[in-house]
Amino acid sequence: ITNLVTDKEIKNFLFISCLRDDEVKNSHPLGAKLYEMETRSVVVTKIEVTNIKKEEINALISDAFHLSEPFAIAVTDIVHQRTNGNIFSITRFLQSLCDEGLLQWSSVSNSWEINVKSIEAEFVPDDSVGMLVRKIL
């Protein structure tokens, strides 16, 4: 990687990585490479993605599923409680709701149908790992 990004003859090269900065330090192989690139005057742009707020989750759910405010707030409360606003976890959680049939499109009503009580009662893992394991099983 370092050779590719530091080679002066390579003009159009874009390297994108995604990592958790709380887990990848300079002692980690990728962290060490990124540090090395920065010390070699390679332009490194860091974009920090943080957890989103409950209001932003509500806007996402309202817009994506065209829900009225009472339904959107009820779903938002569950999503926020299970994900703490982690966008990756939100995506996986909503996908698991679709996979479980708890969130589904109705061609009859031409809208998304969500049974909040079923979502609250149904076992849905609280974390991304649990959701992935459940999907595999």
Query: Each residue's pLDDT tens digit in the chain (137 positions)?
Result: 778 888 888 888 888 877 776 666 777 787 788 888 888 878 888 888 889 999 999 999 999 999 887 789 989 999 999 899 999 889 999 998 999 899 999 999 999 988 888 888 765 555 555 655 555 65
Q: What pLDDT is attached to residue 127?
A: 56
Region of residue 89 (phi > 0: left; psi between -120 and 50: alpha; otherwise: beta): alpha
Say what the pLDDT of residue 119 is: 81
- pLDDT at residue 30 in the model: 79
Q: What share of the chain is helix, strand, coil (3-state, %, to 5)?
A: 50, 5, 40
